A and B are shown apart, each in its own frame.
Chain A
Amino acid sequence: MKPPVVRARPADPAALGPAFHSPGSRVGGKERRGSGAWLPAKAAAFGPGATRRPRLGGGRGGRRPGGSSAMGSRSSHAARIPDVDSLRRETGFSQASLRRLYDRFQALDRTGKGYLSRLDLQQIGALAVNPLGDRIIDSFFPDGSLRLDFPGFVRVLAHFRPVDEEEEGNRDPKEPEPLNSRMNKLRFAFQLYDLDRDGKISRHEMLQALRLMVGVQVTEEQLESIADRTVQEADEDGDGAVSFLEFAKSLEKMNIEQKMSIRILK
């Protein structure tokens, strides 16, 4: 049980692609927080009762140095999306989808800085009321980066591209799994639970997730018992936590390809 669990971890950022790291490095050492410092902050953000993230200041600070360098991409027309071809290959999106997403990306980027900050995403109205909204926004900003550029944006959304069975059939087995594969879809959901990124959903993390999703009327004690049972249900090796493999196994009967796809992202 253990080794796969450990392996699932590094696979996660790898699946999201290297570009996720680049914005963070561009920001410079001043803005960039070490992952060690970041993780506790993040965990705290999801602590009981904490709904608003305390990192808005950091996001705002990051905008200034990035602003000037990104100005060029702002003026580009939708047809001139940077790296269209490689993005298409990587994500499987059609040209039209990419163009639409690029328009959306630019619309979200209100100040025209060429990348999205957390604030940009947080200002999407419905996302604020989504119980998982914060976590989903977080998944756009892996490893504590503060900027989301277009390739990163598209790569996250590529998880929700419907699975094309034919395409799946002729896929070269040597190629990396496409972003919208079942496992990657699951991995996306998994990392919403796994706040401390240790590759396991601990009981505590489960409890936090449940607290977000279950109505207020359920008492804390009841929540705990639900969390207990949920973890135990999926936990196979008895470590009191749900690893990614256990997570995937608990959902093996579910049609993830279908449930985690959005038609318009074809």
Chain B
Amino acid sequence: MLRAALPLLGLPLAGAGATEEPTQEPGSPGEPPPGLALFRWQWHEVEAPYLVALWILVASLAKIVFHLSRKVTSLVPESCLLILLGLALGGIVLAVAKKAEYQLEPGTFFLFLLPPIVLDSGYFMPSRLFFDNLGAILTYAVVGTLWNAFTTGAALWGLQQAGLVAPRVQAGLLDFLLFGSLISAVDPVAVLAVFEEVHVNETLFIIVFGESLLNDAVTVVLYKVCNSFVEMGSANVRATDYLKGVASLFVVSLGGAAVGLVFAFLLALTTRFTKRVRIIEPLLVFLLAYAAYLTAEMASLSAILAVTMCGLGCKKYVEANISHKSRTAVKYTMKTLASCAETVIFMLLGISAVDSSKWAWDSGLVLGTLFFILFFRALGVVLQTWVLNQFRLVPLDKIDQVVMSYGGLRGAVAFALVILLDRTKVPAKDYFVATTIVVVFFTVIVQGLTIKPLVKWLKVKRSEHHKPTLNQELHEHTFDHILAAVEDVVGHHGYHYWRDRWEQFDKKYLSQLLMRRSAYRIRDQIWDVYYRLNIRDAISFVDQGGHVLSSSGLTLPSMPSRNSVAETSVTNLLRESGSGACLDLQVIDTVRSGRDREDTAMHHLLCGGLYKPRRRYKASCGRHFISEDAQERQDKEVFQQNMKRRLESFKSTKHNICFTKSKPRPRKAGRKKKDGVANTEATNGKPPRDLGFHDTAAVILTVESEEEEDSDSSETEKEDDEGIIFVARATSEVLQEGKVSGSLEVCPSPRIIPPSPTCAEKELPWKSGQGDLAVYVSSETTKIVPVDMQTGWNQSISSLESLASPPCTQAPTMARLPPRPRAPEEPQAPLKLPLSSDPRSCFAFPPSLAKAGRSRSESSADIPRQQELQPLMGHEDHSHLSPGPANSHWCIHFNKGGRL
């Protein structure tokens, strides 16, 4: 971009002037004063980057405007709109400056605009799908492009010989072949832009798109060979030159791919060692990929192929090595850059078309070219598909072939190449430029506009998205192994055999070399799916806003049978209440017979898992240091344990064996029918809204999300903190069963009761006064509590309560707890609590009493908000709670209604 703008520096500012003028007023246009200038106007120093930024801004704004109306974008592909906008802008520029400016410069295009798009598509290419169809893709890319180039070129030459092209187009066979070579390549940018909106099935998409990426090598070779032949003059071309041309096809394509793979290797290897400098991980990805592009370009190899292979090759290892945050950063930066580049390309393409000085129109040539590229594309596809179908397991049917033929869009690559032609060597350049512009516009606009209806009309199989499930992942692996084994038995070393070989090689050597050890495990695909499912559950659980929850949150997403009335009701409740709302767990309180037993079992489980002593994070200072490394393994183990427990409880709840919300809850004022209010809230360190609970003891579980491994940059920790506030109730039975002691034995860790009195404890005034204690549980444990887990939670609550038990009931427990000073700012809060009036012991709540307790609580329903805030206030003091890189901690507050 910069380079593109540089030549514009000296040119009149008219185009940009429209935007610039207003700011010019305050400037002092007059002669600079000899003394110190208060204000100086230095447009020329910033002009180039300024213009670049402006153009991108214009393009982005245009994009926003297009997407304001869904109707328009659903009908018209964005690329069309951008080209049209470019035409309009070009017209304005032309009118104002009397000169066409800001065109698509080939240098800019190839060096700056194309790489991000190709990297994006290579990096996010579904590699399995790509390699599954590699044969077809390569055939179309190599044979198809060659076929298109030669037939189109030859046919145009024939057209000229037949006298249908005006004689002023001075071109020989070689010129036409050159033109054919540049016009024949399907353009990745255009294909991506159009096909992304069409959503054809994956196989079709990967074939068309893979072809458009891989044909670059062929295009580059053909273009260069033809170009040099034209420059040498056809008379001087010797037989060896043809041979060299053929050889260069291999050199360029294999060389490009090799360069890409080498850089992919380097990139993967580099990211293996970025453990302590997580912050530059995304940068490395872009730098090395760009280096691959430039290196290939420098060696005149296929740069697109290089960067595609680089993205394709490094992804697996890079994704495993870099932190979760870096992954997100890479993803978004890549998408942003690609979308930006794409937008600018189409816009500049539109603008460039306005420049009539480059044009020379010849109807015969234009129409002939249009016809031939469409015709030969279709013919080529049909012929190749026929051959390919002899070898394909799943043949490509006629509809696929139609879409493939019609989807052969030409784009900016062709335009940039034709601009690069040398007019002295190729006298017909102007005609070629005009023809190329028409072809590009026709394919992008007309075909782009019609391909969607066509796909709909032909009823092309669309892609269907379904979430991965563990079963699918596991069985897919099984199938792969089965097929590989059967190929072994049959004695045919086919695709599955080689894939199996490769996977073994990868597992044995490559992954060992390129992945850091801690990442290695995670990248096991089955584990990965498991991990991601858990993350999704957890995230949606925290998000708890809207439909995400219903699909994947509380009901584990991949489980088809969620018949439990209770769960659905919770889901609905969560959904309607949205973020920050209090959920009444009582609604789902179905008392079941096996509950107590279940409670007990669960209690033991949680005792074992939840409160294992963990080291605390040390506070990390400095944005470049990540302190969590030592904890990683530990954290994962904790995560594991917790997920396991969660599953276990899920198992029990799923089949309605036991679904307990143990106790009657105080009722929230203004809430609907919810009694026990589970308030799950994602707060970013802010106090939760809406926690109207009296007599609640806050049990703060600061738990680390799955992302904890990646939680590195401490600067973001605050934003990422999310608190889940649970208001739950103690199970008296469990306590009475004497489990208390058990839990105490297991969990006397400093984590539970942190050495420094936790802020929560300090600032929860009602604690000491009323015997409800804030219990600090591990700040590392991942405790994502879907409804399925509620049994578990209740258990944990009860065990927590046993820890934090009030002196009256659990005197020995109390002894362990540090004294909790009453927070001065909230002295009156506890006073409002009607607990003193409650004759019962805080925790003794047999289910039969639930009703009574509930009604009682209703009377005191309007408990001031500040009480609810208190746990969170404590939590705000974050450095106490989780001083380490706790950027993805979820604080789960348990407000247990101690007494009703």
Which residues does A use to contact B, with CB under 8 Å? 101, 104, 107-108, 121, 124-127, 129-133, 136, 140, 157, 160, 162, 188-189, 192-193, 209-210, 213-215, 217-219, 221-222, 224-226, 228-230, 232-234, 236, 238, 240, 247, 249-251, 253-254, 258-265
Residues of B within 8 A of A209 (CB): 474, 478
Check B556–A210 contact: CB distance below 8 A. Answer: no
Count of inter-chain pairs, beta carbons less than 8 A: 168
Chain B, range 455-499, C-beta contacts under 8 Å to A: 464, 466, 469-472, 474-479, 481-492, 494, 496-497
Check B482–A238 contact: CB distance below 8 A. Answer: no
Closest residue to A107 on the B side, CB-wise? B491
Select the stretch in B557-565, B568-576, B691-699 that faces chain A. Answer: B557-565
Q: Is the interface of A mostly helix, strand, loop or mixed?
A: helix
A194 smallest CB distance to B (angstroms): 12
B507 within 8 A of A: yes
- Give which listed residue, B464, B494, B637, B647, contacts A263 with CB less than 8 A: B494
Check B641–A221 contact: CB distance below 8 A. Answer: yes
Residues of A within 8 A of B481 (CB): 130-133, 136, 213
Closest residue to A129 on the B side, CB-wise? B504
Check B469–A217 contact: CB distance below 8 A. Answer: no
Closest residue to A222 on the B side, CB-wise? B640
- Give which listed residue, B470, B477, B487, contacts A262 with CB less than 8 A: B487
B391 within 8 A of A: yes
Closest residue to B640 on the A side, CB-wise? A222
B521 within 8 A of A: yes
Identify 8 residue pairs between A and B in the complex whose beta-carbon atoms are under 8 Å apart, listed by A's number. A124-B489, A157-B489, A160-B483, A224-B644, A228-B644, A228-B651, A229-B533, A232-B647
B2-14 CB contact bits vs A (8 Å, 1 = yes)? 0000000000000
Residues of B within 8 A of A230 (CB): 470-471, 474
Check B559–A225 contact: CB distance below 8 A. Answer: no
Check B489–A121 contact: CB distance below 8 A. Answer: yes
Q: A104-B491, A140-B489, A221-B640 are in contact. List 4 more A-B contacts (CB 8 A).
A: A221-B637, A221-B641, A229-B556, A233-B558
Residues of A within 8 A of B474 (CB): 209-210, 213, 230
A122 smallest CB distance to B (angstroms): 11
Given the known inter-chain contacts A230-B471, A251-B471, A262-B494, please indicate yes or no for A132 contacting B478, CB distance below 8 A. yes
Q: Tell which of B479, B496, B504, B648 has the most Cβ of chain A within 10 Å.
A: B479
Could you tell me the distance between the alpha carbons of A132 and B496 in the complex, rounded to whole angstroms?
A: 14
Closest residue to A258 on the B side, CB-wise? B394
Could you tell me the distance between the alpha carbons of A124 and B501 in the complex, rounded to whole angstroms?
A: 14
B265 within 8 A of A: no
Given the known inter-chain contacts A136-B486, A229-B556, A262-B494, please indicate yes or no for A192 contacting B644, CB distance below 8 A. no
Residues of A within 8 A of B526 (CB): 210, 213-214, 226
- Give which listed residue, A124, A133, A234, A265, contacts B471 with CB less than 8 A: A234
Residues of A within 8 A of B559 (CB): 232-233
Check A260–B483 contact: CB distance below 8 A. Answer: yes
B615 within 8 A of A: no
B392 within 8 A of A: yes
Check B507–A215 contact: CB distance below 8 A. Answer: yes
A255 smallest CB distance to B (angstroms): 8
Residues of A within 8 A of B524 (CB): 214-215, 217-218
- Give which listed residue, A162, A250, A264, contacts B469 with CB less than 8 A: A250
- Give which listed residue, A101, A222, A262, contacts B527 with CB less than 8 A: A222
Given the known inter-chain contacts A129-B504, A221-B641, A233-B556, please indicate yes or no for A192 contacting B482, CB distance below 8 A. yes
- Give which listed residue, A127, A213, A234, A236, contacts B489 with CB less than 8 A: A127
Check A104–B490 contact: CB distance below 8 A. Answer: yes
- Give which listed residue, A107, A126, A224, A249, contacts B497 with CB less than 8 A: A126
- Give which listed residue, B464, B475, B490, B644, contacts A264 with CB less than 8 A: B490
- Give which listed residue, B471, B488, B496, contacts A250 with CB less than 8 A: B471
Could you tell me the distance between the alpha carbons of A223 and B640 in the complex, rounded to whole angstroms?
A: 10
Residues of A within 8 A of B527 (CB): 214-215, 218, 222, 226
B633-655 CB contact bits vs A (8 Å, 1 = yes)? 00001001101100110110011
Residues of B within 8 A of A193 (CB): 478
Check B485–A157 contact: CB distance below 8 A. Answer: no
B162 within 8 A of A: no
Residues of A within 8 A of B560 (CB): 236, 249-250
B250 within 8 A of A: no
